[in-house]
């Protein structure tokens, strides 16, 4: 039996914005009520459930990318153990793969809402060919591909932002909706690939560090998180020029080296703040921030609340 692979455990997924719910009088069913929008290269489905249910079955002909917008589901897919599916997370499934879904908490006051984007096979192939021809991976570890074993992921900010833009297209009064959807769909596929690449390297940096330069850099950052790390220093470790390293890192992982360092420092600060014996200022300094004002600003920007409030909530 395969294990459910939600990558990476230290990453907090960024939720896409929910869309307006279907008016109650217009609901055709209380379980997986479906609204569908068709574009040239994809079919966008928005599902809502307003009552508790079990063993609801869905299947799509093409590859499907799903993202939770509201509420909670429990998913049974690909012979894995059932897992909770929440906003900030996405699930991808190959062509014709079945999914069975439970809705343990759904109600009229607490509905679930999820998108299911069925994507044309040729669009996926064209996007992969574009990346492999013009933007190959740094290491010769194989071409760009969507990893179906890594099917349950935490959304990056960039991935969720792309989903938000796609969800706005059906409501726009614009003749070229298909053109907009096509461009946004390509970006979504690229963001998905970057999110998977980053998650895999973050999860397996220790095992991969001897044969993948970015894995080595990620592991070095974790081991020297409180040091004064610079892009030039990291580029030297990767045996690359500073501009080439910066561009390649951001292209392949979907975020800059500086943003990755910041993310890891915030994650360390969160662990420290959970300790009642560690003060907010100690958490800031021990996680690599030399300026507590900067620490507070970055923490609030990332987590949505100041570190002092986060510490109180975690008590």
Range 6-200: architecture per CATH: Sandwich (2.60)
Pick from 114, 124, 129, 141: nearest CA to 46: 114
What is the 8-class DSSP label of residue 34? E
Supply the pLDDT for residue 140.
60
Sign of CA dihedral 175, 90, 143, 222: positive
Pick from 44, 25, 20, 42: nearest CA to 34: 44
Element (H, E) at 269: helix 257-273
Supply the pLDDT for residue 8.
40
C-alpha distances in angstroms, 226 versus 33, 156, 277, 283, 294? 50, 24, 20, 11, 15
Supply the pLDDT for residue 3.
39
Instruction: Give the C-alpha separation, 205 to 199, whole Å.
Output: 10
Sign of CA dihedral 251, 257, 262, 266: positive
Beta carbons within 10 angstroms of residue 273's beta carbon: 24
Query: In the numeric block, which tokens belong to residue 287?
Result: 């996680």
60 and 96 in contact (C-beta within 8 Å)?
yes
Give me the helices (H) in 169-209, please.
177-203, 205-208
What is the 8-class DSSP label of residue 119? E
69 and 88 in contact (C-beta within 8 Å)?
no
Supply the pLDDT for residue 141.
60
Strand segments (E) across the chain: 6-7, 33-38, 42-49, 53-59, 63-70, 73-77, 83-85, 89-93, 98-103, 112-119, 152-154
Supply the pLDDT for residue 197.
84
Domain boundaries, the chain: 6-200, 207-315
Q: From first to last of its 315 residues, what are the pLDDT tens digits of the chain?
A: 333 444 343 456 788 999 999 999 999 999 999 999 999 999 999 999 999 999 999 999 999 999 999 999 999 987 789 999 999 999 999 999 999 999 999 999 999 999 999 999 999 999 999 999 998 888 766 789 999 988 999 998 889 999 999 999 998 777 788 999 999 999 999 999 988 888 888 777 777 777 788 889 998 998 899 999 999 999 999 999 999 999 989 888 888 999 999 988 998 999 999 999 999 999 999 999 999 999 999 998 888 889 999 888 776
Supply the pLDDT for residue 211.
77
Pick from 117, 100, 106: nearest CA to 35: 117
Q: Determine the Cα angle at 202 with ends 138 and 284, to 5°.
A: 120
What values do phi and psi take at 52, rounded to 5?
-60, 140
* pTM attached to this predicted model: 0.79
114 and 66 in contact (C-beta within 8 Å)?
yes
Residue recorded with tokens 């998108």: 115
Q: Judging by DSSP bridges, how do beta strands 152-154 and 6-7 pair with one another?
A: parallel
Superfamily of domain 207-315: Homeodomain-like (1.10.10.60)
Instruction: Give the C-alpha separation, 247 to 244, whole Å.
Output: 5
Q: How many CA atoms lie within 13 A of 106 on its CB side?
A: 25
Supply the pLDDT for residue 156.
84
Pick from 125, 28, 22, 37: nearest CA to 69: 22
Instruction: Give the C-alpha separation, 133 to 89, whole Å.
Output: 30
Beta carbons within 10 angstroms of residue 134's beta carbon: 7
């Amino acid at each position: 039996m395969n294990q459910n692979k939600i990558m990476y455990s230290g990453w907090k997924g960024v939720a896409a914005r929910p869309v307006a719910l279907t008016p109650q009088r217009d609901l055709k069913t209380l379980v997986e009520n479906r609204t569908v929008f068709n574009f040239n290269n994809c079919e966008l489905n928005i599902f809502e459930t307003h009552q508790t249910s079990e063993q609801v079955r869905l299947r799509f002909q093409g590859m499907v990318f799903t993202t939770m917008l509201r509420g909670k589901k429990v998913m049974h897919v690909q012979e894995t153990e059932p897992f909770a599916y929440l906003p900030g997370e996405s699930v991808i499934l190959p062509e014709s793969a079945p999914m069975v879904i439970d809705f343990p908490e759904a109600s009229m006051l607490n509905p679930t809402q999820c998108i299911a984007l069925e994507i044309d096979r040729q669009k996926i192939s064209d996007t992969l060919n574009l990346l492999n021809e013009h933007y190959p991976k740094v290491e010769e570890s194989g071409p760009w591909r969507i990893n179906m074993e890594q099917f349950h992921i935490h959304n990056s900010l960039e991935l969720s932002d792309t989903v938000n833009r796609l969800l706005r297209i059906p409501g726009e009064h614009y003749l070229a909706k298909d053109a907009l959807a096509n461009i946004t769909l390509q970006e979504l596929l690229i963001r998905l690939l970057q999110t998977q690449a980053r998650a895999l390297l973050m999860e397996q940096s220790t095992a991969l560090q001897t044969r993948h330069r970015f894995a080595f850099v990620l592991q070095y950052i974790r081991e020297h998180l409180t040091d004064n790390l610079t892009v030039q220093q990291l580029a030297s470790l990767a045996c690359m020029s500073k501009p080439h390293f910066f561009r390649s890192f951001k292209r392949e992982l979907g975020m800059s080296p500086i943003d990755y360092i910041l993310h890891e420092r915030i994650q360390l600060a969160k662990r420290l703040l959970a300790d009642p014996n560690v003060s907010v200022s100690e958490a800031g300094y021990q996680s690599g921030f030399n300026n507590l004002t900067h620490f507070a600003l970055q923490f609030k920007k990332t987590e949505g609340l100041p570190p002092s409030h986060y510490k109180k909530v975690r008590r």
